[in-house]
Structure 1
Amino acid sequence: MQSYFLVILQGALLTVGVSLGALVVAVILGLAGAAAKLSGRPLLVALGSVYTTIIRGIPDLVLMLLVFYGGTIGLNTLLEKMGSEATIDIEPFAAGVITIGFIYGAYMTETFRGAILSIPKGQMEAAWAFGMGRPQTFLRITLPQMVRYALPGFINNWLVLIKSTALVSLIGLQEMTYLAKQASAATRSPFIFFLFTGALFLIYTWISLVALKKLNARYSLGTKRVQL
């Protein structure tokens, strides 16, 4: 039994890798999506709206299978039509990271968009009046305040994203949920192994909450009214 627990712990490291990789993809897509929806350009606004609407309306499991199986078939069909004999196989790790990141990029888009809208527009106009360009205004004025407003929603998205990594077990990635299922089948003791896996997810959640709450407290300094 001890050997199975050690194997599940090794799979837990892979779960962390999928979570962090997907978070990077989600943040990048979230920033791009928020910028598109706030750009004021009809085409970009429409693309951002279609992205967030479709992704939030399709179950995560369906998207996972579409990327893993449909993506492989689509790429190989494209290569075949181009006259190439090469074939592409999407690895489970890459499929998991891309799919989960793509899904939660839609949620991050709305989180970042709402945070940016919470910033008084006069601050950006004042920065432009002082001669700051748009990139400098974003980095020095918008981004620090956006982080403060976005953190509560970001924390919720991150916690749900961590739990969604269990879906990658369905495409053969040997993370801790997959290994717990294998161990339970071999020993016919599913309760103990899935309970252990659930405890590991709770530990991840607790560590994330502690770290993100400290970050939230740091960005909230000076924003609370002092009671006299």
Structure 2
Amino acid sequence: MLNLQGYGPSILEGTILSLEVSIASLGIAMLLGIIGALSKLSNSKPLRLVAQLYTTIIRGIPDLVLMLLVFFGGQVFINQIGPLVGYDEYIDINPFIAGVSTIGFIFGAYMTETFRGAILAVSKGQLEAGSAYGMSNFLVFRRITLPQMIRHALPAFGNNWLVLIKTTALVSIIGLDDMVRKAGLAAGATRKPFTFYLVVAINYLIITTVSIYLLKYLEKRYSVGVREASD
């Protein structure tokens, strides 16, 4: 039995915060992913160019570097802009907002490619049939594209989610008290780093394992009709 020397509640608090960061980041990533995918498939050349630049740049810069750029660079930028609008006090960027925004922005690029591929996997004949029945583009997307897109996107979406969960460990470097930072503080106080980082590893393993089973359930749920039709 691991002896956490009274730091158990602190690690639990950090674990909950890590989950909050993960879920909030996922929400941003999904929104950016949908926008990016639709932009890449748009007839507008400027939109396609912006989306392509977004995915290329984000996938080419290490996550850690982006986190530091957003947190420290953003703080410098905001404090330079402040005096120009009559605000002279120093402005601190909230680590939670910085962490969630950065991770969401990073994984929005990966979700863009995931959703783009899923949309392209939907039969064009069905989309044309929807338009022929008088459906608007939005209605075609909501009733035809989206349900099938989810099924095609789930495997890659699941991989992105699992990587995103592990990426949340980076928020500890900007001072957010997630479970990695909590473990580091406890390890420094007790001089037992192996014990506390082992607990963190187990926590991440539990979260990802539960996620895998939930994703498998969703994949089965969205594949039921397809399997029946193919039998």
TM range (shorter): over 0.9
- 1:203 equivalent to 2:173? Answer no
Aligned length: 228
Residues 159-211 of structure 1 show CA distances to partners (whole Å, capped at 9, x for unaligned) of: 00000000000000011000111111111111111011000000000111111
Could you say if the C-alpha distance between residues 226 and 45 of structure 1 is closer, same or farther in structure 2, counting changes exceeding 3 Å?
closer
* Counterpart-to-counterpart distance in 2, 1:88 and 1:22: 23
* Counterpart-to-counterpart distance in 1, 2:125 and 2:84: 53
Deviates more, 1:164-173 or 1:85-94: 85-94
Aligned partner of 1:37 in structure 2 is 40
**Structural mapping, 1:78-227, within 5 Å:** 78-224=81-227
* Counterpart-to-counterpart distance in 2, 1:226 and 1:37: 31
Aligned-partner SS, 2:51: helix
Shift of 1:89: 2.0
Residues 32-77 of structure 1 show CA distances to partners (whole Å, capped at 9, x for unaligned) of: 0001100021100000000000000000000001111111111221
* Structure 2 runs not aligned, ≥5 long: none
- 1:49 equivalent to 2:29? Answer no
What is the aligned counterpart of 2:15 among 7, 12, 17?
12
TM-score in terms of structure 2 length: 0.95
Q: CA RMSD in A?
A: 1.4
* Counterpart-to-counterpart distance in 1, 2:90 and 2:126: 52
* Counterpart-to-counterpart distance in 2, 1:212 and 1:158: 10
TM-score in terms of structure 1 length: 0.96
Percent of aligned positions that are identical: 54
* Structure 1 runs not aligned, ≥5 long: none
Aligned-partner SS, 1:132: coil
